[in-house]
Amino acid sequence: MTIEDVALAAGVHVATVSRALREGGMVAPATREKVQAAARRLGYRPNVAAATLRTRRSSLVGVIVTDLGNPFFGPILKGLETELRKSGWMSLVVQPPEDAAGRRDVVLALADRQVGGLIIGAAEIDDPLLDTADGLQLPVVLVNRGYGERRFPSIVTDDRESMRLALDHLLALGHRHIAHIAGPRSSSTGRARAEAFGDLCRQQGIGDAIIVETPAFTRAAGNEAALSVLDVAAPPTAVVAGNDMLALGVLDAAGHCGLSVPGDLSLVGHNDMPLVDLIDPPLTTIRVPVEQLSRQAARLLIEQMHNADEAVMMRVMMPSLVVRASTGPARR
Amino acid sequence: MTIEDVALAAGVHVATVSRALREGGMVAPATREKVQAAARRLGYRPNVAAATLRTRRSSLVGVIVTDLGNPFFGPILKGLETELRKSGWMSLVVQPPEDAAGRRDVVLALADRQVGGLIIGAAEIDDPLLDTADGLQLPVVLVNRGYGERRFPSIVTDDRESMRLALDHLLALGHRHIAHIAGPRSSSTGRARAEAFGDLCRQQGIGDAIIVETPAFTRAAGNEAALSVLDVAAPPTAVVAGNDMLALGVLDAAGHCGLSVPGDLSLVGHNDMPLVDLIDPPLTTIRVPVEQLSRQAARLLIEQMHNADEAVMMRVMMPSLVVRASTGPARR
DNA sequence: TTGTACGCGTTATCAC
DNA sequence: GTGATAACGCGTACAA
């Protein structure tokens, strides 16, 4: 069942069928109708591979996400897929390997499929992923990760504002000994939040603020890092975690050290991922507007793909503080 | 940069290049090496669209999942993608619409992309998705959903065993008034668990077991259904939920009714999705081996795609009980 | 073992 | 506004 069959059935030439079935084709309304009727009657489906071969374009978008197991990414993926498909794009989802060569290959493999662009929710700073995409001239949008030199369009939340919200909240509760369990410096969010936290502490005259970097945004890493901070004579009275997964690890560590939350230790997470409102204690955290984040990202990519020479831009979304029960007044 | 350029550079014919670069091609080792060297030197990347057009095969697999926002699906997607790509397949991820036409179209769109097969983690009973895939002769594997007539290969957990584990646990704790907040009967798991629960209760001589069906596996639906059961004079002392999301809703309802868990009400979930070990109280639940479930599904699909006339088979995985703190002895 | 030749289904560029 | 025709890049019988 090819375009030729339709042409035959409609009594026109294949070229006319092609035009009639596509948006911009210049065809007489009557002809178009005739063709569409024939196509429908025959159950004709255009051969996507042939069209891709001819046009060098496919209706595919590469979605590169680390750690699909992380509850934070589910909603992001959901928003992305929904919004992309609304515009006719399908999502090729890939988790990149750790090694540089593997990351390069992932982008190449995606490019081989003629993806129109890439949404990357996994970029590290100086990521081979980005260099490769850049070399291929592939439109890219970063979600929730900026890039060191801001070379790529991205949707991010304001990390400085996040830390300000967290810190103000803790200061208002009387805390003065505050630690930050930071995500890896190789990720823009890990780095930006750590730097903002440091700056703000200095501004507030908190000299002894501790910042510990973790190797990954995981519960295990959070636990380990938190132990090094909490398992001492005079532990801090509050901790700001780089994200919610790290916060869960901090919770583990607090339990291990016999510290009650929020009695002995106040804890602020980041992201407000699903279910953190139900854990014990319900987590005070910084909410990022996930739904809008992912929809904006999809839209931005679509714009970039549509208009190749769109200016590089960053859209910054504002986080907000959600106070639950993991924070309380300082005892000391 | 086409296959012809490589042929020129290697001093052989394009056909030879094609053979040399693919697995089964019969080429002299020396020639192959020469060709590979030339290809590498030129940075040649085969045109996937052309190959797809020619062979009518792509290295794409359709992954149809409802509700990417549900924390249960993240890990499943993760295992699926990992395993599929290990065998050279990329995942086209799609969330199906609710309406029949939309579900049909999703499968057609996937088929248009020449996907080798479909992994469906969203099938309803008598789902248009399945009929369409069936009509297209597309290899299909169902994850965590069986099909009414068992026409499709699937990976499932043993729902009867799940319910047996849950019920035995509650009976051992002395409960006799037990309700089941069931998932929709339109889903195989919802139906199977409800039926098993009913059967087992009868076997145990529990005549007054209540089963309430929900319209969806969501927290809100669980809450609503649970309210109808708990907000009465003599509520049951234990509830088995159709899955963890429903269980969270039950928890909400219990709070609303002033029932403490597990003091006044014992609660068993299903799936052991991420973070339910941290909620208050930590949820007793039925663990499904997600990692293996998804990997098995991917492997099964790969087998089906490889060997078209593989017998339809179902692989059943055994669930296990994870006792945490949401269940306790019956007071009455 | 290698080369020849054709076709896969579409779209784009021309004439008309 | 429509028809003819030439690519697009590759895989594969078949012949050599």
pLDDT, chain A, mean: 93
Residue B278 gets which letter from DSSP? T
CATH topology agreement for domains A3-46 and A159-288 = no
- For residues A235 and A225, is the Cβ–Cβ distance under 8 A? no
Query: Residue A125's pLDDT band (boundaries 50, 70, 90)?
Result: confident
Give all strands of the β-sheet with A90-94 in edge-to-edge order: A314-317, A154-157, A140-143, A117-121, A60-65, A90-94, B90-94, B60-64, B117-120, B140-143, B154-157, B314-317
pLDDT of residue A155: 93
pLDDT of residue A313: 84
User: Rounded to whole angstroms, how far apart are CA atoms A43 and A63?
Assistant: 31
Query: Residue B124's pLDDT band (boundaries 50, 70, 90)?
Result: confident
Query: Residue A332's pLDDT band (boundaries 50, 70, 90)?
Result: low
φ/ψ of residue A65, rounded to 5? -135, 135
Q: What is the pLDDT of residues A7-61, one digit of tens each?
A: 999 999 999 999 999 987 789 999 999 999 999 999 999 999 999 999 999 999 9
Domain B159-288: which topology?
Rossmann fold (3.40.50)
> Is the model's pLDDT at B150 over the cut of 70?
no
Angstrom distance, A45 CA to D5 C1': 23
Those residues with Cβ within 8 angstroms of residue B319's Cβ, 6 or more apart along the chain or in another chain: B157, B158, B161, B162, B165, B286, B287, B288, B289
> What are the chain B neighbours of A52 within 8 Å (beta carbons)?
49, 52
Residue A239 is encoded by which pair of tokens? 């901790």
Residue A273 is encoded by which pair of tokens? 């991922």
User: Rounded to whole angstroms, how far apart are CA atoms B182 and B197?
Assistant: 9
The angle formed by the CA atoms of residues B22, B26 and B30, to the nearest 5 degrees, is: 90
pLDDT of residue B151: 80
**CB proximity A47 to B under 8 Å:** yes
Q: What is the pLDDT of residues A268-305, one digit of tens each?
A: 999 999 999 999 999 999 999 999 999 999 999 999 99
Angstrom distance, A55 CA to C12 C1': 9
Closest chain A C-alpha to B198 CA, distance in angstroms: 30
> Is the model's pLDDT at A131 over the cut of 80?
yes
pLDDT of residue A311: 79
> What are the chain B neighbours of A58 within 8 Å (beta carbons)?
49
A11 backbone φψ class: left, alpha, beta (φ>0; ψ -120 to 50): left
Angstrom distance, A5 CA to D2 C1': 18
Q: Go through B90-118 and write b for each residue having 16 or more CB atoms within 10 A of its CB, e for each that does not.
A: bbbbbbbeeeeeebbebbebbbbbbbbbb
**CB proximity B53 to A under 8 Å:** yes
B219 forms bridges with which residues in the sheet? none
How many percent of chain A have pLDDT more than 90? 84
Domain residue spans of chain B: 3-46, 58-157+290-319, 159-288
**Alpha-carbon distance values, B272 to B144, B277, B278 (Å):** 14, 8, 11
Q: Go through A16-29 and write b for each residue having 16 or more CB atoms within 10 A of its CB, e for each that does not.
A: bbbbbbeeeeebee
At B64, the amino acid letter reads I
Which CATH number is associated with domain A58-157+290-319? 3.40.50.2300
* Residue of chain A minimizing CA distance to B110: A90
pLDDT of residue A236: 96
> Is the model's pLDDT at B308 over the cut of 90?
no
pLDDT of residue A150: 60
Residue A100 is encoded by which pair of tokens? 């540089």
Closest chain A C-alpha to B298 CA, distance in angstroms: 15
> Is the model's pLDDT at A201 over the cut of 70?
yes
Nearest-CB residue to A93 (from B47, B67, B81): B81
Q: What is the pLDDT of residues B39-97, one digit of tens each?
A: 999 999 999 999 999 999 999 999 999 889 888 889 999 999 999 999 999 999 999 99
CATH class as words, domain B3-46: mainly alpha
Residue A253 gets which letter from DSSP? H
pLDDT of residue B114: 97
Query: Residue B171's pLDDT band (boundaries 50, 70, 90)?
Result: very high
Q: Smallest Cα–C1' distance to nucleotide D8: which residue has it? A: A54
What average pLDDT does this structure show over B193-208?
Answer: 93
Residue B78 gets which letter from DSSP? H
- For residues A155 and A317, is the Cβ–Cβ distance under 8 A? yes
Q: What is the pLDDT of residues A238-261, one digit of tens each?
A: 999 999 999 999 999 999 999 999
Rg value, chain B, Cα: 25
Which pTM was predicted? Answer: 0.93
